[in-house]
């Protein structure tokens, strides 16, 4: 961090105990979670030596098969934010077409894995993670399924996408090109999900849309969550577009609920001359291209330009005074933070379509690639609700889930108040499982999805909605 001029760390380990290379010499290990906590603690201790407040966050799983081993209290205790990757809940690896970022679980879902944003969030809260540290992951891309007949149907292997390369990117589309030409966008209010389908091309695509995002923003306020993060900002609709998801977050919560923080611009111990000299910002307004009509002004104090050695041919200026968040011109409703400069140029090969690193939290449109914003959306002004620690139990709904076709256009404003799960009509239950559900297992924590028991006490077993306690 001191060498490269970094402000914070976000760790993306996919996943402790349940992930990693299965072959020698780096398999996952039962002690991964314990060691994960030790790693985070060691980083936090090192942060105490820094002359600025550095944030620590992690990218975390949304599936109980991945987080069932997590010690939420210990892990969240070391973090400023925990970014739940509440996307990729379905994809080309699935058995049938499905939602990749639905808010609620479908009670009429076909047999197999059933994931939802709500279930993951409630498991984290019940496990001991403070709600205001939980950040919802929002996909700025879609997962497509070819040769399908719509939702919950068979499909063929994807062949197209925004980032198709030699070995990756098929079936992934930037949000800014969705819905695909000829497809109808559909919003399912009961599940909090958006998808599109073209009966001619037979392409089904699951993604986040303005209406489903509005529902999630209401959900964030209801449960006093920490905000949103996007993967990845460059795939969002252009600045000024009524379909921009990042702008929708900013416009919904407002500037007062953005967690603006000045970037640290002073790294005098860096081994790189340009980093030691300080970040370069302009003393005059910089106007972006017509496609991104945002003008920002960054007041600076600058000394005489300093030219680095031939081995590091970068011309920089002396350390500058960091600018406060800058508001763009009245014609553009976008607010940006002070410019961020990279320690080394970032180039992506054709085989590596993604130019961003670990998921970043963004609350304002990014107007100049490849810079990404690191602004969290905070909801501190929204009081916690009493139901934030309770799971929900859905009741039966009609076999055909009503959906609403929508057309591309301006995003309707969210209601602004607490919402309730439209599928929730009864109180949560804590009764023990029946013998049939337990498949003969006794005095054990049972996971019906895998048909296996897990090493959890009765109390810990009840913290995970996907598990049942067998007496």
The contacts of residue 17 (CB under 8 Å, 6+ apart) are 28, 29, 30, 32, 33, 69
Annotation marks residue 146 as catalytic: no
**Spatial contact of 267 and 259, defined as CB atoms under 8 Å apart:** no
Structure tokens at 144: 């497509």
Catalytic residue selected from 14, 46, 208, 404: 14
Place of tokens 């990729």: 88
**Spatial contact of 39 and 47, defined as CB atoms under 8 Å apart:** no
Catalytic positions are 14
């Amino acid at each position: 961090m001191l060498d490269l001029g970094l402000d914070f760390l976000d760790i993306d380990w996919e996943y402790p105990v349940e992930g990693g290379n299965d072959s020698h010499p780096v398999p996952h290990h039962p002690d991964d979670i314990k060691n994960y906590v030790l790693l985070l603690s060691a980083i936090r201790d090192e942060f105490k030596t820094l002359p600025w407040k550095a944030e620590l966050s992690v990218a975390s799983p949304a599936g109980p098969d991945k987080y069932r081993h997590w010690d939420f209290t210990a892990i969240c205790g070391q973090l400023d934010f925990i970014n739940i990757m509440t996307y990729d809940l379905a994809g080309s690896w699935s058995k049938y077409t499905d939602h990749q970022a639905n808010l609620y679980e479908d009670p009429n879902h076909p047999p197999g894995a059933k994931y939802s944003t709500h279930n993951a969030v409630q498991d984290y809260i019940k496990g001991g993670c403070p709600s205001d540290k939980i950040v919802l992951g929002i996909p700025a891309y879609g997962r497509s399924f070819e040769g399908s007949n719509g939702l919950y149907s068979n499909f063929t292997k994807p062949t197209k996408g925004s980032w198709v390369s030699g070995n990756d990117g098929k079936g992934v589309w930037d949000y800014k090109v969705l819905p695909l030409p000829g497809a109808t966008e559909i919003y399912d209010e009961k599940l909090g999900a958006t998808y599109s389908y073209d009966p001619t091309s037979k392409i089904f695509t699951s993604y986040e849309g303005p209406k489903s995002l509005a529902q999630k923003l209401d959900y964030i306020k209801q449960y006093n969550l920490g905000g949103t993060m996007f993967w990845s900002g460059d795939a969002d609709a252009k600045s000024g577009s009524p379909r921009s998801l990042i702008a929708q977050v900013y416009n919904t919560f407002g500037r007062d609920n953005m967690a603006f923080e000045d970037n640290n611009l002073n790294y005098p111990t860096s081994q790189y001359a340009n980093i030691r000299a300080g970040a370069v910002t302009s003393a005059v307004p910089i106007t972006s291209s017509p496609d991104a009509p945002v003008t920002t002004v960054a007041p600076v104090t600058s000394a005489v330009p300093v030219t680095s050695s031939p081995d590091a041919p970068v011309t920089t200026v002396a350390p500058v005074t960091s600018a406060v968040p800058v508001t763009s011109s009245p014609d553009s409703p976008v607010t940006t933070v002070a410019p961020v400069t990279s320690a080394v140029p970032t180039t992506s090969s054709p085989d590596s379509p993604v130019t961003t690193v670990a998921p970043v939290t963004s609350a304002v449109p990014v107007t100049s690639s490849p810079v990404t914003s690191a602004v969290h959306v905070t909801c501190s002004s929204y009081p916690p609700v009493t139901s934030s620690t309770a799971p929900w139990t859905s009741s039966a709904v009609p076999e055909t889930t009503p959906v609403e076709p929508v057309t591309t256009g301006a995003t309707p404003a969210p209601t602004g108040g607490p919402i309730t799960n439209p599928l929730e009509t009864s109180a949560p239950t804590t009764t023990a499982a029946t013998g049939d559900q337990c498949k003969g297992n006794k005095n054990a924590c049972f996971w019906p999805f895998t048909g296996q028991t897990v090493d959890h006490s009765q109390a810990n077993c009840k913290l995970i909605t996907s598990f049942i306690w067998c007496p």
